[in-house]
Protein backbone atom coordinates (compact mmCIF):
# COMPACT_ATOMS: atom_id res chain seq x y z
CA UNK A 1 0.00 0.00 0.00
CA UNK A 2 1.50 3.31 -1.05
CA UNK A 3 0.88 6.25 1.26
CA UNK A 4 1.55 9.91 0.51
CA UNK A 5 3.06 12.26 3.03
CA UNK A 6 0.85 15.07 4.23
CA UNK A 7 2.27 18.35 2.87
CA UNK A 8 2.61 21.40 5.03
CA UNK A 9 -0.09 23.87 4.13
CA UNK A 10 -0.93 27.44 5.04
CA UNK A 11 -4.54 27.16 6.16
CA UNK A 12 -5.07 30.88 5.57
CA UNK A 13 -4.55 30.32 1.85
CA UNK A 14 -7.01 27.47 1.58
CA UNK A 15 -10.43 28.15 0.12
CA UNK A 16 -13.34 26.36 1.79
CA UNK A 17 -16.92 26.15 0.62
CA UNK A 18 -18.04 28.09 3.67
CA UNK A 19 -15.75 31.03 2.83
CA UNK A 20 -16.30 31.18 -0.93
CA UNK A 21 -18.00 34.38 -2.01
CA UNK A 22 -21.75 34.33 -1.70
CA UNK A 23 -24.37 36.97 -2.51
CA UNK A 24 -23.98 39.99 -0.25
CA UNK A 25 -26.81 40.91 2.09
CA UNK A 26 -29.54 38.84 3.64
CA UNK A 27 -31.96 39.50 0.79
CA UNK A 28 -29.64 38.21 -1.92
CA UNK A 29 -28.63 35.20 0.19
CA UNK A 30 -32.29 34.38 0.83
CA UNK A 31 -33.12 34.51 -2.89
CA UNK A 32 -30.01 32.50 -3.75
CA UNK A 33 -30.88 29.65 -1.37
CA UNK A 34 -34.55 29.72 -2.35
CA UNK A 35 -33.92 29.46 -6.09
CA UNK A 36 -30.99 27.07 -5.72
CA UNK A 37 -33.10 24.66 -3.69
CA UNK A 38 -35.93 24.76 -6.23
CA UNK A 39 -33.51 24.20 -9.13
CA UNK A 40 -31.69 21.32 -7.47
CA UNK A 41 -34.97 19.59 -6.63
CA UNK A 42 -36.23 20.16 -10.19
CA UNK A 43 -39.16 22.20 -8.88
CA UNK A 44 -37.87 24.70 -11.41
CA UNK A 45 -37.41 22.46 -14.43
CA UNK A 46 -34.37 22.76 -16.72
CA UNK A 47 -35.03 25.38 -19.38
CA UNK A 48 -37.68 27.19 -17.31
CA UNK A 49 -37.56 30.98 -17.45
CA UNK A 50 -37.24 32.48 -13.99
CA UNK A 51 -40.06 34.87 -13.19
CA UNK A 52 -38.33 37.70 -11.29
CA UNK A 53 -41.62 39.38 -10.42
CA UNK A 54 -42.92 36.21 -8.81
CA UNK A 55 -39.75 35.82 -6.75
CA UNK A 56 -39.98 39.46 -5.65
CA UNK A 57 -43.58 38.98 -4.52
CA UNK A 58 -43.06 35.61 -2.83
CA UNK A 59 -39.96 36.63 -0.86
CA UNK A 60 -40.91 40.28 -0.36
CA UNK A 61 -37.60 41.62 -1.66
CA UNK A 62 -36.64 44.14 -4.32
CA UNK A 63 -35.31 43.23 -7.76
CA UNK A 64 -31.72 44.07 -6.81
CA UNK A 65 -31.11 41.04 -4.56
CA UNK A 66 -32.93 38.82 -7.06
CA UNK A 67 -30.59 39.85 -9.85
CA UNK A 68 -27.54 39.50 -7.62
CA UNK A 69 -28.63 35.99 -6.69
CA UNK A 70 -29.13 35.12 -10.36
CA UNK A 71 -25.56 36.19 -11.13
CA UNK A 72 -24.25 33.82 -8.46
CA UNK A 73 -26.49 31.00 -9.61
CA UNK A 74 -25.06 31.58 -13.07
CA UNK A 75 -21.54 31.21 -11.67
CA UNK A 76 -22.68 27.89 -10.17
CA UNK A 77 -23.81 26.77 -13.62
CA UNK A 78 -27.43 26.50 -12.50
CA UNK A 79 -28.80 29.56 -14.29
CA UNK A 80 -28.18 30.97 -17.76
CA UNK A 81 -28.56 34.74 -18.08
CA UNK A 82 -29.82 35.92 -21.45
CA UNK A 83 -28.95 39.56 -22.27
CA UNK A 84 -32.10 41.69 -22.20
CA UNK A 85 -34.24 38.55 -21.89
CA UNK A 86 -33.92 37.59 -18.24
CA UNK A 87 -32.65 34.26 -16.93
CA UNK A 88 -33.57 30.62 -17.25
CA UNK A 89 -32.67 27.42 -15.45
CA UNK A 90 -29.70 25.94 -17.28
CA UNK A 91 -30.96 23.03 -19.41
CA UNK A 92 -29.79 19.46 -18.77
CA UNK A 93 -28.37 18.39 -22.13
CA UNK A 94 -28.29 14.59 -22.50
CA UNK A 95 -25.56 14.94 -25.12
CA UNK A 96 -23.31 16.58 -22.50
CA UNK A 97 -23.62 13.74 -19.98
CA UNK A 98 -20.51 11.96 -21.26
CA UNK A 99 -18.46 15.11 -20.74
CA UNK A 100 -20.02 15.62 -17.31
CA UNK A 101 -19.07 12.14 -16.14
CA UNK A 102 -15.55 12.51 -17.52
CA UNK A 103 -15.11 15.64 -15.41
CA UNK A 104 -16.82 14.06 -12.41
CA UNK A 105 -14.60 10.99 -12.40
CA UNK A 106 -11.31 12.83 -12.82
CA UNK A 107 -12.15 15.43 -10.17
CA UNK A 108 -13.32 12.82 -7.64
CA UNK A 109 -10.20 10.71 -8.23
CA UNK A 110 -7.98 13.71 -7.55
CA UNK A 111 -9.98 14.86 -4.54
CA UNK A 112 -10.11 11.44 -2.89
CA UNK A 113 -6.40 10.93 -3.56
CA UNK A 114 -5.47 14.14 -1.76
CA UNK A 115 -8.07 13.67 0.96
CA UNK A 116 -6.47 10.32 1.80
CA UNK A 117 -3.05 11.98 1.84
CA UNK A 118 -3.95 15.14 3.74
CA UNK A 119 -6.98 14.51 5.91
CA UNK A 120 -6.92 15.43 9.58
CA UNK A 121 -8.85 13.71 12.39
CA UNK A 122 -11.39 16.54 12.22
CA UNK A 123 -11.79 16.03 8.46
CA UNK A 124 -12.34 12.34 8.99
CA UNK A 125 -15.02 12.99 11.59
CA UNK A 126 -16.80 15.41 9.26
CA UNK A 127 -16.76 12.83 6.48
CA UNK A 128 -18.15 10.20 8.84
CA UNK A 129 -20.86 12.56 10.08
CA UNK A 130 -22.01 13.23 6.52
CA UNK A 131 -21.89 9.52 5.74
CA UNK A 132 -24.06 8.67 8.75
CA UNK A 133 -26.47 11.49 7.88
CA UNK A 134 -26.92 9.97 4.43
CA UNK A 135 -27.59 6.56 5.95
CA UNK A 136 -30.21 8.05 8.28
CA UNK A 137 -31.92 9.75 5.34
CA UNK A 138 -31.75 6.55 3.30
CA UNK A 139 -33.36 4.52 6.09
CA UNK A 140 -36.41 6.76 5.91
CA UNK A 141 -36.24 7.04 2.09
CA UNK A 142 -36.18 10.81 2.43
CA UNK A 143 -35.11 11.75 -1.10
CA UNK A 144 -34.51 15.42 -0.28
CA UNK A 145 -32.28 14.62 2.69
CA UNK A 146 -30.49 11.85 0.77
CA UNK A 147 -29.62 14.20 -2.05
CA UNK A 148 -28.35 16.92 0.30
CA UNK A 149 -26.37 14.61 2.58
CA UNK A 150 -24.78 12.84 -0.38
CA UNK A 151 -23.56 16.21 -1.65
CA UNK A 152 -22.31 17.08 1.86
CA UNK A 153 -20.40 13.78 2.02
CA UNK A 154 -18.45 14.52 -1.15
CA UNK A 155 -17.90 18.15 -0.22
CA UNK A 156 -16.50 17.08 3.17
CA UNK A 157 -14.00 14.93 1.28
CA UNK A 158 -13.15 17.90 -0.93
CA UNK A 159 -12.41 20.02 2.15
CA UNK A 160 -10.05 17.30 3.38
CA UNK A 161 -8.12 17.47 0.09
CA UNK A 162 -6.89 20.96 1.04
CA UNK A 163 -7.22 22.42 -2.44
CA UNK A 164 -9.64 25.28 -2.98
CA UNK A 165 -9.74 24.78 -6.75
CA UNK A 166 -10.88 21.19 -6.41
CA UNK A 167 -13.32 22.22 -3.70
CA UNK A 168 -15.00 24.73 -5.99
CA UNK A 169 -15.09 22.22 -8.84
CA UNK A 170 -16.65 19.51 -6.67
CA UNK A 171 -19.29 21.96 -5.40
CA UNK A 172 -20.28 22.85 -8.97
CA UNK A 173 -20.28 19.26 -10.20
CA UNK A 174 -22.21 18.16 -7.11
CA UNK A 175 -24.88 20.77 -7.77
CA UNK A 176 -25.36 19.43 -11.29
CA UNK A 177 -25.25 15.89 -9.92
CA UNK A 178 -27.96 16.75 -7.41
CA UNK A 179 -30.24 17.78 -10.26
CA UNK A 180 -29.43 14.55 -12.11
CA UNK A 181 -30.05 12.51 -8.95
CA UNK A 182 -33.64 13.70 -8.86
CA UNK A 183 -34.26 11.83 -12.11
CA UNK A 184 -33.48 8.65 -10.17
CA UNK A 185 -35.27 9.76 -7.00
CA UNK A 186 -38.37 10.32 -9.11
CA UNK A 187 -38.62 6.53 -9.53
CA UNK A 188 -38.97 5.93 -5.76
CA UNK A 189 -42.75 5.78 -5.94
CA UNK A 190 -42.65 3.22 -8.75
CA UNK A 191 -39.63 1.02 -8.01
CA UNK A 192 -37.82 -0.48 -5.05
CA UNK A 193 -34.47 1.33 -4.85
CA UNK A 194 -33.28 -0.72 -1.85
CA UNK A 195 -30.38 -2.43 -3.65
CA UNK A 196 -29.15 0.81 -5.17
CA UNK A 197 -29.26 2.56 -1.80
CA UNK A 198 -27.40 -0.27 -0.08
CA UNK A 199 -24.74 -0.17 -2.79
CA UNK A 200 -24.27 3.58 -2.32
CA UNK A 201 -23.99 3.18 1.46
CA UNK A 202 -21.39 0.43 1.06
CA UNK A 203 -19.37 2.51 -1.39
CA UNK A 204 -19.45 5.50 0.97
CA UNK A 205 -18.13 3.29 3.78
CA UNK A 206 -15.27 1.88 1.71
CA UNK A 207 -14.33 5.37 0.53
CA UNK A 208 -14.27 6.59 4.13
CA UNK A 209 -12.13 3.61 5.14
CA UNK A 210 -9.60 4.24 2.38
CA UNK A 211 -9.31 7.89 3.40
CA UNK A 212 -8.92 6.88 7.05
CA UNK A 213 -6.15 4.42 6.06
CA UNK A 214 -4.45 7.08 3.93
CA UNK A 215 -4.57 4.60 1.03
CA UNK A 216 -4.39 7.03 -1.89
CA UNK A 217 -4.47 4.36 -4.61
CA UNK A 218 -7.57 2.67 -3.19
CA UNK A 219 -9.26 6.03 -2.65
CA UNK A 220 -8.70 6.90 -6.32
CA UNK A 221 -9.98 3.52 -7.49
CA UNK A 222 -13.11 3.80 -5.36
CA UNK A 223 -13.81 7.25 -6.80
CA UNK A 224 -13.97 5.77 -10.30
CA UNK A 225 -16.21 2.95 -9.11
CA UNK A 226 -18.56 5.32 -7.31
CA UNK A 227 -18.95 7.61 -10.31
CA UNK A 228 -19.58 4.61 -12.57
CA UNK A 229 -22.33 3.43 -10.22
CA UNK A 230 -24.01 6.82 -10.49
CA UNK A 231 -23.59 6.86 -14.26
CA UNK A 232 -25.07 3.38 -14.75
CA UNK A 233 -28.03 4.17 -12.49
CA UNK A 234 -28.78 7.47 -14.22
CA UNK A 235 -28.44 6.07 -17.75
CA UNK A 236 -30.72 3.16 -16.89
CA UNK A 237 -33.38 5.54 -15.59
CA UNK A 238 -33.03 7.88 -18.57
CA UNK A 239 -33.22 4.98 -21.01
CA UNK A 240 -36.37 3.75 -19.30
CA UNK A 241 -37.92 7.22 -19.45
CA UNK A 242 -36.88 7.93 -23.03
CA UNK A 243 -37.61 4.42 -24.28
CA UNK A 244 -34.19 4.17 -25.92
CA UNK A 245 -30.51 4.10 -25.07
CA UNK A 246 -28.94 7.36 -23.93
CA UNK A 247 -26.55 8.66 -26.63
CA UNK A 248 -22.88 8.89 -25.69
CA UNK A 249 -19.76 10.35 -27.26
CA UNK A 250 -17.39 7.63 -28.56
CA UNK A 251 -14.30 7.45 -26.38
The DSSP code sequence of the chain is ---PPPPP--GGG---GGGS---SHHHHHHHHHHHHHHHHTTSS-TTPBP-HHHHHHHHT--HHHHHHHHHHHHHTTSEEEETTTEEEEPP--GGGHHHHHHHHHHHHHHHHHHHHHH--HHHHHHHHHHHHHHHHHHHTT-HHHHHHHHHHHHHHHHHHTT-HHHHHHHHHHHHHHHHHHHHHHTTTTTS--HHHHHHHHHHHHHHHHHHHTT-HHHHHHHHHHHHHHHHHHHHHHHHHHHTSPPP----
Q: What is the rounded end-to-end Cα distance, in angstroms, of the chain?
A: 31
Domains and CATH numbers, the chain: 20-89 (1.10.10.10), 94-242 (1.20.120.530)
Average pLDDT over residues 152-161: 97
pLDDT single digits (tens) 68-125: 999 999 988 889 999 888 999 988 777 788 999 999 999 999 999 999 999 999 999 9
Query: What's the number of CA atoms in the CB half-sphere (13 Å) around residue 216?
Result: 15
User: Of the ranges 32-41, 43-52, 240-249, which one carries the lowest mean pLDDT score?
Assistant: 240-249
Residue 193 has pLDDT above 70, yes or no: no
Residue 112 CB neighbour total at 10 angstroms: 27
Backbone Cα Rg of the chain: 19
Reported pTM: 0.72
Asked whether residue 141 carries a pLDDT value surpassing 90, the answer given is no
Amino acid sequence: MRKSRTPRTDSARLTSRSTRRQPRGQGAALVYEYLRDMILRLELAPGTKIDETRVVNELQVSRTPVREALVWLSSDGLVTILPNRGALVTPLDVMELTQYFEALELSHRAVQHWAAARRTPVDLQNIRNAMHAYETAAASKDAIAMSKTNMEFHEAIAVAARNGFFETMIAQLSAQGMRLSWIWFDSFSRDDPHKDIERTIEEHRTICQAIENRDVEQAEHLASTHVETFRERLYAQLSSTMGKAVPTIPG
